[in-house]
Amino acid sequence: MALDQKIRLAAFNWLSEQVGIHGDVLPRKLLERGFGFEGERIVLISPQGIFKPRVMQYPLTITTAPEGPYDDAFGTDGYLSYRYRGKDPNHRDNAGLREAYRNRIPLIYFHGVVPGKYLAVWPVYIIGDDPAALTFKVAVEDQVSMGRQDDYTVPEENVLKRAYMTAEVRIRLHQRGFREKVLAAYRSQCAFCKLKYGELLDAAHIISDNEPDSRPTIDNGLALCKLHHAAFDSFIISVNPDYIIHVRKDVLDEEDGPMLQHGLKELHKARIILPRAEHHWPNREYLDRRFQKFMAYA
pTM recorded for the entire structure: 0.80
Q: Compute and round to an integer the Cα radius of gyration of the chain.
A: 23
The mean pLDDT value for 264-285 works out to: 98
b or e along 232-267 (b: 16 or more beta carbons within 10 Å of the residue's beta carbon)?
beebbbbbbeebebbbbeebeeeeeeeeeeebbbeb
Percentage with pLDDT > 70 across the chain: 93
- Check whether 152 has a pLDDT greater than 60: no
Compute φ and ψ for 60, nearest 5 degrees.
Answer: -105, -40
Cβ contact 9:152 at 8 Å: yes
Q: Are 194 and 273 in contact (CB under 8 A)?
A: yes
Predicted pLDDT at 147: 45
Mean pLDDT along residues 11-15: 97
Is the predicted pLDDT of residue 22 greater than 60, yes or no? yes
Domains delineated in the chain? 3-180 (2.30.280), 186-297 (no CATH)
Q: How confident is the model at residue 157 (pLDDT cuts 50, 70, 90)?
A: low
